[in-house]
Structure formats: C-alpha cells, structure tokens
Amino acid sequence: MVENKTIYTSILNATGQIAILIDPEKTNKETQLELLITTVEKSDVKYLFVGGSSAKKKQVEFVVQFLKNKSKLPVILFPGSNQQFSNYADGILYLSLLTSSNSKFLIDQHAENSIEIYHSNVEILPTAYLLIDGDSDSSVAKISASIPLIRKAKKDALKISLAGLLQGKKIIFLDAGSGAKKTVPISIIKEIKKHTNAPIIIGGGVKTTKKLISLNKIGVNIIVIGNHLEKNITNFKFITNYFANKNNL
C-alpha cells in the first residue's frame, strides 16, 4: 500500500482542478483515446479518471494501460465495482457509497479485492461518496438501488459527509450522476465547506464555463467532466474557456 500521498496532496492544495472521466465501456478505441489525450494535454486538465457503472476488468486494464503509455497525467480509478481495478493506475478513489444502505457498496465490494489493492503500488484515496439528485435517472443510483439525497437536504449531506470523515475518509465526492440535468447545489457544497477543510470533488451535469467558474470560486477542489465530452469532444471548448478566464478572476 502506497504511504506517500502525492495525489492526495495535489488534490488538497488547489481548487478548481479539472478531471476528465473516461468510461471504458464507451471510450475504449485507440482512436477515441488518442483524440481525447491530444485534446486534454493542450489544456490545464490535472487528472484522468477511469471508471463506469458496469465496465469489465479487461476494459479497465486496456484503457488504463493505454493512458499510462500515451499521457503524463495521473490516472485515477473511479470504480463502479471491484472489477474496476488496475495496478497500472496511479491512484484509486476508494469509494464508500454512504447514501446507500446496501452493504454491497459499503463494504462487500471492497472486501472482494482488498488484498490485491492493499499490496499494490496504487495510491489509495479513501473517499466518502454521496449521490445527490441531479434531476435525472442516475445509472449509479439504479445499480446500487440507492435513492439520491434531495437537493434541499444540505444538513443530511453535511452529517453524512462528516460521518465519513470520522470513519477515516479523506475526500468528499458529491455526485449528481452521469448525464445529470442539474449539478450538485451550491448550498450543499457551502454547508459542507463551513465545517471541514477536507477536499471536495463534484461530478455530474457540469456543462458550462460559468458553472466551472462558480464551483472554483466556492473552493471545490476537483470538478469531474465525463458524459458531456463522451457525446462530442468539441464540447471541450467550455473547459478551454474556463482555463482562459480562471487566472483572471
């Protein structure tokens, strides 16, 4: 198990960072990946996340190894199951789905390959993972049989996040889900930030430069972009515009 926290430190020490999420079920052809890498590496994107709701181990291994061979960016696993692990990755968001009462996603999946992960060279990033209603049917919610927190439940989101930190989690990940119509409410993020300095990751529904700027302003450490780029890589322009304006704020 990796003890030095290189990735964790970089997450903790900066806000407004961008991670591109690659789903190995949807983006797994060399031409797709090469185009994505070329586009991303012309920007200030900091991380490549790899994972999906139901991607298989072979798919994950292929994508991770391809990215490691072609890109200098850290490759971090964002696993949907115990199948989505690769020792070639730089780090893994070791997720506990705390908005679910299903033990499968609280501990059962983790136990399946805990020995392999413990003895790997991959940096472990213990993460409290909360689903927030994004006004759409989330694949994560369906597979985990979880009911996302309602958008007004900022106190519940705070209590669950703090409970996760007390259990030893180091990062809070608030996810509105892939293809969400709405992003995680600013009110929830602000409520959590009032009580903790733990790094926060936001995912789901981020599609505009304005939203990226607003999330950066309130101190979100990483903003994850995935589904919007899967639809069309030219959508990357809103991220380019964000980087052009970020340093002028």
pLDDT, tens only, 86-111: 999 999 999 999 998 777 777 888 88
Which domains are assigned to the chain?
A: 6-243 (3.20.20.390)
Tell how many helices (H) and how many strands (E) occur in the chain.
12, 8
CA 227 – CA 203 distance, rounded (Å): 10
168 φ/ψ angles, rounded to the nearest 5 degrees? 110, 0
CA 230 – CA 81 distance, rounded (Å): 21
- Provide the pLDDT confidence category of residue 139 given band limits of 50, 70 and 90: low
187 alpha carbon, distance to own chain's centre: 20
Give first-to-last CA distance, the chain, whole Å.
Answer: 39
CA 227 – CA 249 distance, rounded (Å): 27
169 alpha carbon, distance to own chain's centre: 15
Of 118, 99, 243, 117, whose CA–CA distance to 174 is shortest? 99
Assign 130 to helix, strand or coil. strand
- Provide the pLDDT confidence category of residue 145 given band limits of 50, 70 and 90: low
pLDDT score, position 5: 73
Residue 144 has pLDDT above 60, yes or no: no
Residue type, 107: I
Of 211, 150, 208, 207, whose CA–CA distance to 180 is shortest? 207
- Provide the pLDDT confidence category of residue 221 given band limits of 50, 70 and 90: very high
Q: Is residue 129 a contact partner of residue 175, using CB atoms and an 8 Å limit?
A: yes
Q: Is residue 167 a contact partner of residue 205, using CB atoms and an 8 Å limit?
A: no
Of 191, 104, 194, whose CA–CA distance to 156 is shortest? 191
